[in-house]
Amino acid sequence: MANKTSEVLSKRKNDVLEAWIKNQIQDPTLREDLMSNDELHTQSDELLNSFIQAVRSGNYSDISTQEYYPVIEILNSLSITRAYAGFTPRETAVYVLSLKKAIVQVLQDELKADQNTLIEEIIRISDLLDSLSLVTLEAFIKGREEVILRQTSEINEISTPVIRVWEGILALPIIGTLDSERTQIIMENLLQEIVNTGSSIAILDISGVPTVDTLVAQHLIKTVNATRLMGAECIISGIRPEIAQTIVHLGIDLTGVQTKSSMASALRSAFTKQQMVVTKAKAKQ
């Protein structure tokens, strides 16, 4: 089959580029705040060059072949940068789809005389650009997912602080669902902190844990046992009335674990164990 599009594209590359950029600039969704026109120009030029190179092979249907590697690579990195920069998926997809419009315009212009070839070429090029725009979407979503994963791990990190409330007493407020991964982080942080501070009592506060089921309980028991092996004691505080009843019905055995209803009472019992007394200062005479 004659590779008309490739010929036309090579010949009129600058026109295509111009029309494409014009399309993008006219598009009301263009985010000038996120990307300058110069940057847009360089990016588009680079992509168009590798696109023309790929089309020259005459392969329009299979974008998983070697010719399209550079194109897809550019599209991937472009989509991911855009995902990070805060573009919407629509804005990212429009970028590739507006190239279609530009190419069709130029093809129309060049192949006026031969309508049949024109239609054929338009269908082929439009299929190709559709699959390329799907590539950008996939990459875009992947970029977003990476952002989410990064945030998740960040939340895990910051949501498990170990606080030194008093000499020898550590507190760990746990907020959110306790899964295996978080338990691991909590345990590591706690055990390390016990070594660093030489503490002998750790208070695990579960006021912020919405549901205590057997898995959460199992994780808590593991943490308590590990603390005990380090020679420290562990108190679990923040057990709400409804959680207490649920634990009983579930049949979880927490007899080996010291529990308190509030952080305050846990702290008081920790002070007692350390033989410390908290008293009000006497008013000055």
Partner 1 sequence: MMISLNKETLKIVSEQDVVLFRQRLKEYASKIGMSLLNQTKLITASSELVRNILVYARQGEVIIEVVTDRLQTGVRVTFKDQGPGIADIPKAMQDGFSTNKSLGLGLPGAKRLVNYFDIQSTPGNGTTVTIIRWKR
Contact residues for partner 1 (CB under 8 A)? 177, 179, 210-215, 217-218, 241-243, 245-246, 249-252
Nearer to partner 1, 42 or 245 (CB): 245
Does residue 283 contact residue 227 with C-beta atoms inside 8 Å?
no
**What is the nearest approach in angstroms of partner 1 to the Cβ of residue 132?**
29
Using the structure block, give the residue that is written with the tokens 């960040």: 154
Using the structure block, give the residue that is written with the tokens 């008293």: 279
Q: Order across the sheet with 163-166: list the strands.
A: 163-166, 169-175, 201-208, 233-237, 258-259
Nearer to partner 1, 27 or 181 (CB): 181
37-55 and 4-11 helices cross at what angle (nearest 10)?
140
**What is the nearest approach in angstroms of partner 1 to the Cβ of residue 270?**
28
**What is the nearest approach in angstroms of partner 1 to the Cβ of residue 147?**
15
Nearer to partner 1, 214 or 265 (CB): 214
Neighbour-count burial of 150, counting CB atoms closer than 10 A to its CB (0-12 exposed, 13-18 middle, 19+ buried): exposed
Between strands 163-166 and 169-175, the pairing is antiparallel
- Strands (E) across the chain are located at 163-166, 169-175, 201-208, 233-237, 258-259
Nearer to partner 1, 192 or 214 (CB): 214
Nearer to partner 1, 217 or 224 (CB): 217
Backbone φ and ψ of 147, nearest 5°: -60, -45
Amino acid at residue number 210: P
Neighbour-count burial of 18, counting CB atoms closer than 10 A to its CB (0-12 exposed, 13-18 middle, 19+ buried): middle
Neighbour-count burial of 234, counting CB atoms closer than 10 A to its CB (0-12 exposed, 13-18 middle, 19+ buried): buried
**What is the nearest approach in angstroms of partner 1 to the Cβ of residue 210?**
7
**What is the nearest approach in angstroms of partner 1 to the Cβ of residue 87?**
24
**What is the nearest approach in angstroms of partner 1 to the Cβ of residue 221?**
8
Whole-angstrom distance, CA of residue 186 vs CA of residue 163: 12
> How many CA atoms lie less than 13 Å away from 103 in the CB half-sphere?
27
**What is the nearest approach in angstroms of partner 1 to the Cβ of residue 138?**
19
Nearer to partner 1, 231 or 241 (CB): 241
Nearer to partner 1, 21 or 252 (CB): 252
**What is the nearest approach in angstroms of partner 1 to the Cβ of residue 214?**
5
Nearer to partner 1, 99 or 243 (CB): 243
Q: Which residues pair with 237 in a beta bridge?
A: 205
